[in-house]
Structure 1
Amino acid sequence: MGSAVLSGTLNAVGSDLASVEERIGYRFRDQSVLELALSHISAVKGDAPRLRSYQRMEFLGDHVLGSVVSHMLYLAFPEGEEGDLSRRLAELVREEACAEVAQDMDLGPFIRLGPGESQSGAHKRRAILADVAESVVAAVFLDGGYEAANQVVERFWRPRLETPRRPLRDAKTVLQEWAQARGLPPPSYREVIRSGPDHAPRFTVAVDLPGLKSEQADGASKQNAQKAAAAAFLVREGVWKKDES
């Protein structure tokens, strides 16, 4: 796999990726694979930038990560039912969790960005960090196979499996159950505004329940924004504590 032609630069001094390899615990046979996994679309010159940025690798990494984490959960919870395992999986592969892993890997300073994105501090943006974490998983998979990817995922996702950071039930599910218990109809969600460029949109969504004040939140996708709005609603009504949302 050849390197993409890049217009951006690393935020870190120099282009040595050895420290990234040390952090993730894997030495690449072909560093260009890792370089591609760290290349945001804004840093790519020429035709078909989506094919020569990390976007395709993020797609692959998302599925490799889901496969490895699903196997981890299957073994870790032999009595777990499908619904419980699905909730745990969703928690472990959500955007926030992947962004935290990217921070643990210290990937931010090594993300290749175009000048505008670099100046805006995009290497700290949660959605980009989450995408890069998945892309790095894909890079390890492509360079070293499933077992190598499995070891990296075990190293960084196992602690989150053993100690969940928040309630395992989805905020939208909890809010719907809360409304049902009070004789209210299911919550409705509406898009308030969409902002940002096409390759990195942000959605603001409001959640409505009759007779109660609406709550708004934003996210990198409508689904994430809906979950965040539901979580904010639950915190406001005292159902969840702030550190659980």
Structure 2
Amino acid sequence: MRGIKMKMTETLKELEKELGYQFRDINLLKQAVTHSSYSNEKNMGKLGCNERLEFLGDAVLEVISSEFLYQKFPILQEGELTKKRASMVCEPTLALCAREIRLDNYLLLGHGEENTGGRKRDSIVSDALEAVIGAIYLDGGLASAKEFILKHVLNDMEHKQLFYDSKTILQEIVQEHGNNPVSYQLIREDGPDHNKIFTVEVRVKQEVLGVGQGHTKKAAEQAAAYQAVMALRKTKVKYVSKKH
């Protein structure tokens, strides 16, 4: 039992390095990475999981991101600010931020959730990131939470907004030079039913502009659009549709 506890402490210390924050109360971090499936399996009770911390972290994130955007874009109206905030703190973007600091590797999941691909679900990973924010807020106050959010969530805004809006951006690029529709075609499904990987191509007519993968068809389409936009921007060539 002592060995298990020591191993857990070592693991949490590794996670602290990934986060760039050292906890005064390491139990807050442990709770932040504890999914309800794990707490139920270990008979830890309803208060043993990260759901309350997620609730708190979500509120802290909304305040900090709202202040950040308010100051960064002084002439934008409410609607545009709301749209930008939505792109920065939506589930897929938060999951992307969480994976950049390898948070998904440290989650405590029940065996059932683990075996059905829970570690790869955006909803679980993004919720854990909000729980970590809540834990940092309780442990170190608003200033510490703000520092973490600015470093790991509100950084590289252009890239993250592109990721969030990739399908719309790709559609706009294509329509600048014609009216041919952008289509997404599922080309492959791999893995068991509970943990499938979908592969999607995005095309204009018969030309493949990008290929993406995801655990849902929607995520695969977004990844394909993102790859297409990145490729077009890298070559600095906009797709010109062929008219007949």
Partner in structure 2 of residue 15 of structure 1: 9
Q: Is the 8 A contact 1:41 1:49 kept in 2?
A: no
In structure 1, the partner of 2:83 is 86
Q: Percent identity?
A: 28
How many residues of Structure 1 are paired with residues of Structure 2 in the alignment? 222
Given that 1:34 and 1:139 are in contact with CA atoms closer than 8 Å, whether structure 2 keeps it comes out as yes
Task: Write out per-residue CA displacement over residues 143-179 of structure 1, whole angstroms, 9 at most, x where no aligned residue.
Answer: 6665553343234445535xx4477482212211122
TM-score, length basis structure 1 = 0.61
More helix by share: 2
Q: CA deviation at 1:140?
A: 2.9
TM-score by length of 2: 0.61
| Aligned residue runs from structure 1 range 1-245, under 5 A | 13-15=7-9, 17=12, 20=15, 23-25=19-21, 27-29=23-25, 31-40=26-35, 43-44=38-39, 45=41, 53-54=49-50, 57-58=53-54, 61-62=57-58, 64-80=60-76, 83=80, 86-87=83-84, 90-91=87-88, 94=93, 95-100=95-100, 102-103=101-102, 107=103, 110-114=106-110, 127=122, 130-141=126-137, 146=142, 148-157=144-153, 159-161=155-157, 164-165=158-159, 168=162, 170-189=165-184, 193=189, 203-213=198-208, 215-235=210-230, 238-241=231-234
CA contact (8 A) 1:26 1:140 kept: no
Larger Rg over CA atoms: 2
Secondary structure of 1:13's match?
helix
Q: Work out whether residues 54 and 135 of structure 1, in 8 Å CA contact, stay in contact via their aligned partners in 2.
A: yes
Describe the superposition over 1:51-104 as per-residue Cα deviations: whole angstroms up to 9, x where unpaired.
Answer: 85446644653453243123112112323465477347625761323322x24x
Q: Could you tell me whether the CA contact under 8 Å between 1:28 and 1:140 is conserved in 2?
A: no
Please give the alpha-carbon distance, in whole angstroms, between the structure 1 residues aligned to 2:56 and 2:23: 20
Per mean C-alpha deviation after superposition, the further-off stretch among 172-181 and 113-122 is 113-122
Calculate the aligned-residue CA RMSD, in Å. 4.7
> Does structure 1 retain, via aligned residues, the 8 Å contact 2:213–2:224?
yes
Unaligned runs of 5+ in 1: 1-8
Give the 3-state SS of the residue equivalent to 1:78 in structure 2. Answer: coil
The amino acid that maps onto 1:209 is V
- Structure 1 CA distance for aligned equivalents of residues 53 and 190 of structure 2: 26
| 1:191, distance to aligned residue in structure 2 (A) | 5.9
CA contact (8 A) 1:91 1:168 kept: no
